[in-house]
Structure 1
């Protein structure tokens, strides 16, 4: 199975789980880990700009990584996945939790 099809299978399963476990619109908590890089952090913040998102960042103990938590009201699971894909496309090396 190619990496692309694994990714699509993951998003399909996530969408099903989100429909099963939440009523929409709903608040959704994104969590990302990035290497300490102000540009990457700002890019994530910009992706969620003007959405009423509450964004919290925490630097790792050694300062090598930044955890970015984004709590935001989302319309439906499709829009949740669109944002995951946008972050993955624009922020190199991001880890989505």
Structure 2
């Protein structure tokens, strides 16, 4: 995704989050990534000290891991900020 597409995506997401939720609110992130303890730790560190509840589940053959992260955030900007932080980790798919 190039920068313009990325900006458009995050602008639409912000509008949708503003329209459907009252803030502060719990937000559920879902990520899928190759099972790699270092990358999983990087994601956990991003949500460290936020009060996030992180659940992980390995795929049937343990090749991939899904992370479900529920965290209470103040506004849509915080939601987007976390997506951008996780987005720099190679191989992570945001759902």
User: What TM-score do the two structures reach when normalised by structure 2?
Assistant: 0.97
The aligned residue for residue 94 of structure 2 is 96
Work out the CA distance in 2 between the residues paired with 1:34 and 1:40. 8
Structure 2: gaps spanning 5 or more residues: none
SS at match of 2:16: helix
- Cα deviation code 1:33-84 (max 9, x no counterpart): 1001000001100100011000000000111100001000001000100000
Name the Cα RMSD after superposition.
Answer: 0.9
Q: How does 1:35-50 map to 2 (within 5 A)?
A: 35-50=34-49
Runs of 4+ aligned structure 1 residues displaced above 2 Å come to none
The residue aligned with 2:74 is 75
In 2, the alpha carbon distance for the partners of 1:93 and 1:20 equals 31
Cα distance in 1 for residues equivalent to 2:12 and 2:24: 19
SS at match of 2:6: helix
In 1: Cα distance, 2:4 partner to 2:56 partner: 31
